[in-house]
């Protein structure tokens, strides 16, 4: 991501607008959605950084259904947080994958980005179905 997301709302799709590699052109930096260009087994990994004093529940969705997730939680006002997760999924051609905030917390935080805290999302195919 190129910039922080200040206190994103519930069900806010995260858009990772900085693309390093996009073989097969499956990822849209405008919608934040990866569309599987071919059926197969895929690995997805993400790192989400949050600003002090807040928390977010985040989920990886496949065709709108929760497939994985993480909780970012900074426990005090001087604490930044970085959480990562990885999932392996079997996808059909045309399946859509994206990240979004899922459950509201009473301590909403920035999804934090700077040169030292890279908030990122990546995926790649490891084999045919």
Closest CA to 40 of 112, 123, 115: 123
For 36-51, what is each residue's pLDDT tens digit? 999 999 999 998 888 7
- Per the model's pLDDT, the better-predicted residue between 19 and 10 turns out to be 19
Residue-wise pLDDT for 53-76, tens only, equals 777 788 999 999 999 988 877 777
Contact assessment for residue 42 and residue 36, using Cβ atoms and an 8 Å cutoff: yes
Domain ranges of the chain: 23-127
* 98, β-bridge pairs: 61
Note the pTM of the prediction, 2 decimals.
0.88
CATH (residue range 23-127): 2.60.120.40
Take residue 3 and report the two structure tokens written for it.
């910039």
């Amino acid at each position: 991501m190129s910039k922080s997301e200040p206190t994103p709302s519930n069900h806010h799709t995260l858009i990772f607008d900085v693309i390093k590699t996009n073989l097969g052109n499956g990822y849209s930096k405008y919608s934040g959605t990866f569309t599987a260009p071919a059926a197969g087994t895929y690995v997805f990994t993400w790192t989400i950084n949050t600003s002090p004093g807040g928390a977010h529940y985040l989920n990886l969705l496949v065709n709108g259904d929760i497939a994985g997730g993480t909780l970012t939680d900074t426990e005090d006002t001087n604490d930044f947080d970085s959480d990562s997760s990885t999932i392996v999924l079997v996808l059909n051609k045309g399946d859509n994958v994206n990240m979004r905030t899922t459950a509201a917390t009473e301590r909403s935080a920035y999804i934090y980005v700077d040169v030292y805290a890279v908030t990122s999302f990546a995926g790649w195919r490891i084999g045919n179905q």
